[in-house]
């Protein structure tokens, strides 16, 4: 095996990380194995070590599905949330040093300084969230729970081997950086501290465009006891909660269907028990460019009473929820529920961040022949030709005037699609290395040890990639589960 020198500065993931490193998890086509990733040799064999094995184990790469490093947690993490998005879907976290008409220079913690062809770049996000990043995952199952909203049994949970709450039934299964829905009635949910002004993103893959309900600002309240609801002789009995209300409590619930989207305000009141009412909007139809996957983003400002939905980076719908909330306090949890559908789904790239509350014009008004620049104040947007970035300044040649903007005031830059190259093809089944909280690089791993991998990227050439900030090595194509569903995740 080859061992590479450590030259990248990495920051601690959390203060007080335990000295003993967690075990890695190897997922194969026919099972899984705990141990430690020992590398990949030039012959294409994966090396795996275990304390109870007398020698390293070897596996062919075509039998490997993914490797969760250190329980899908990085040992060290980059401080950079700014990142560059490439035309093949890769996201490279780092600090933008310079840009000219040919290439961008990006200083990274995982691969040193990279030179990226400009034609390979889809967007730059120097200050992408406009606020604090709160959650990115799911890289582990901590904090997540499942619940059966159809059950009247107050003891809805069993204890697992570690004494943690676990739901009855495997409706949702986590594997690597994904949650898989495998059929059933349970809802998946988590308290995340969702701020009143927030960005909530997730990626969804599905076999058929089945309905999915997303609860947010959820408090997970349970129905009030019967004795707590006033009983009047001339009044009907309290309404029973529907599935969304039972799963998420007082909340907003967005439901995605084949071609339209609805938003409901759900909860409980003292007079009538459970309620669920539709939030009105001028339109409900949504167009999906891809029939099997999409990126969703909810931008919410409860102080202003607005919820805005973006699909695949483009504006879709907006609701005014001020009257529906009527000053009520909601919760800060999120959740997912699949009502009445047996088809498989997969959730990934869940992200929660603070938001400055400003409308994000550049994400909804892309121009096919102009570069677009959105400032961090959320209201100022400029279009034209980006001539360069140097000395912390972005230069833009506009239709009527040239403009120079400090890079620390730029939220996002979207390059004109007509100047972007088609995604280059590399290995037939490229490996994807996922970083936490933001980042992905794909290509062919030609050689690796436990700390570093040599990656041949079709867009960036050959790179030495540090694995201290990586959480997952994925060897199978995204979306492969759509045609070859494996019950043993």
Per-residue pLDDT, 396? 94
Q: What is the DSSP letter of 282?
A: S
DSSP H or E stretch at residue 363: helix 361-364
Pairwise CA distance, residues 345 & 338, whole Å:
9
Residue 111 near residue 459 (C-beta atoms within 8 A): no
Per-residue pLDDT, 18? 38
List C-alpha distances in Å: 45 to 51, 152, 345.
20, 52, 31
- Total residue count of the chain as it appears in this document: 489
Q: Which CATH number fits domain 83-130+359-419: 1.10.10, 2.40.128, 2.30.30, 1.10.8?
A: 2.30.30
Q: What's the farthest any 2 CA atoms get from each other in the chain?
A: 81
Neighbours of 224 (CB within 10 A): 14
Which residue's structure tokens are 């199952």?
141
Do β-strands 261-269 and 273-278 pair in parallel, antiparallel, or remain unpaired? antiparallel
Q: Identify the CATH number of the domain defined by range 11-77+427-482.
A: 2.30.30
Query: Are 11-77+427-482 and 83-130+359-419 the same fold in CATH?
Result: yes
Q: Where are the domains of the chain?
A: 11-77+427-482, 83-130+359-419, 133-354
List C-alpha distances in Å: 85 to 65, 128, 133, 380.
25, 11, 18, 22
Four-residue CA torsion sign, 157, 160, 165, 168: negative
Residue 266 near residue 254 (C-beta atoms within 8 A): no
Helix (H, G, I), strand (E, B) or coil at 397: strand
Per-residue pLDDT in tens (0 to 9) along the chain, 489 residues: 433 332 222 333 333 333 456 789 898 888 889 999 999 999 999 999 998 888 899 999 988 988 989 877 787 766 667 899 999 989 999 999 999 999 999 999 899 999 999 999 999 999 877 667 888 888 778 899 999 887 755 444 444 444 444 444 468 988 767 898 988 889 999 999 999 999 999 999 887 776 899 999 999 998 766 555 555 545 555 566 788 999 999 999 999 987 789 999 999 887 667 889 999 888 777 777 666 788 899 999 999 999 999 888 788 889 999 998 887 889 999 999 998 766 788 998 898 988 876 665 444 456 678 898 888 776 678 889 999 999 999 999 987 888 999 999 898 899 998 888 887 655 567 899 998 888 899 999 999 999 999 999 999 999 999 999 898 899 875 444 444 444 444
Cis before 138 (ω within 30): yes
Q: Identify the CATH number of the domain defined by range 133-354.
A: 2.60.120.560
Reported pTM: 0.74
Per-residue pLDDT, 483? 41
The contacts of residue 131 (CB under 8 Å, 6+ apart) are 195, 197, 199, 353, 354, 355, 356
């Amino acid at each position: 095996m080859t061992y590479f020198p450590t030259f990248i500065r990495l920051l601690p993931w959390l203060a007080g990380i335990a000295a003993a490193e967690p075990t890695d998890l190897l997922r194969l086509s026919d099972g899984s194995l705990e141990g430690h990733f020992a590398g990949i040799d030039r012959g294409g064999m994966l090396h795996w070590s275990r304390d109870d094995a007398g020698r390293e184990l070897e596996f062919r790469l075509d039998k490997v599905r993914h490797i969760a490093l250190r329980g899908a947690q990085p040992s060290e993490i980059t401080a950079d949330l700014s990142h560059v998005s490439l035309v093949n879907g890769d996201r490279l976290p780092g600090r933008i040093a310079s840009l000219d008409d040919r290439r961008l220079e990006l200083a990274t913690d995982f691969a040193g300084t990279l030179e990226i062809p400009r034609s390979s770049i889809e967007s730059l996000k120097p200050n992408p969230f406009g606020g604090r990043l709160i959650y990115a995952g799911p890289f582990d199952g901590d904090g997540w729970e499942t619940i059966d909203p159809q059950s009247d049994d107050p003891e809805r949970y069993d204890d697992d081997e570690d004494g943690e709450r676990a739901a009855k039934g495997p409706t949702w299964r986590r594997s690597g950086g994904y949650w898989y829905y495998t059929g059933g009635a349970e809802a998946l949910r988590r308290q995340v501290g969702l701020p009143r002004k927030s960005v909530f993103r997730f990626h969804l893959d599905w076999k058929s465009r089945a309905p999915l309900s997303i609860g947010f600002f959820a408090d997970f309240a349970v129905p009030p006891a019967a004795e707590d609801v006033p009983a009047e002789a001339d009044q009907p009995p309290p309404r029973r909660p529907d599935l969304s209300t039972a799963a998420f409590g007082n909340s907003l619930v967005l439901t995605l269907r084949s071609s339209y989207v609805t938003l409901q305000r759900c909860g409980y009141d003292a007079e009538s028990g459970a309620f669920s009412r539709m939030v009105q909007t001028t339109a409900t139809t949504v167009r999906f460019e891809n029939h099997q996957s999409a990126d969703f983003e909810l931008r919410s400002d409860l102080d202003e009473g607005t919820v805005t939905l973006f699909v695949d980076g483009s504006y879709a719908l907006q609701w005014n929820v001020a009257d529906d909330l009527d000053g009520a306090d909601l919760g800060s949890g999120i959740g997912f529920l699949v009502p009445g559908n047996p088809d498989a789904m997969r959730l990934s790239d869940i992200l929660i961040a603070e938001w400055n509350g400003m409308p994000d014009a550049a994400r909804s008004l892309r121009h096919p022949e102009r570069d677009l620049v959105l400032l961090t104040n959320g209201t100022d947007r400029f279009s034209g030709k980006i001539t360069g970035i140097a000395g912390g300044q972005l230069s833009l040649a506009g239709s009527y005037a040239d403009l120079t903007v400090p890079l620390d005031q730029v939220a996002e830059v979207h390059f004109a699609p007509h100047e972007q190259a088609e995604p280059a093809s590399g290995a037939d089944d490229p490996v994807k290395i996922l970083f936490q909280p933001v980042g992905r690089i794909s290509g062919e791993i030609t050689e690796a040890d436990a700390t570093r991998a040599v990656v041949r990227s079709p867009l960036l050439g050959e790179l030495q990639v540090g694995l201290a900030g990586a959480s997952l090595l994925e060897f199978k194509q995204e979306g492969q589960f759509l045609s070859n569903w494996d019950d043993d995740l």
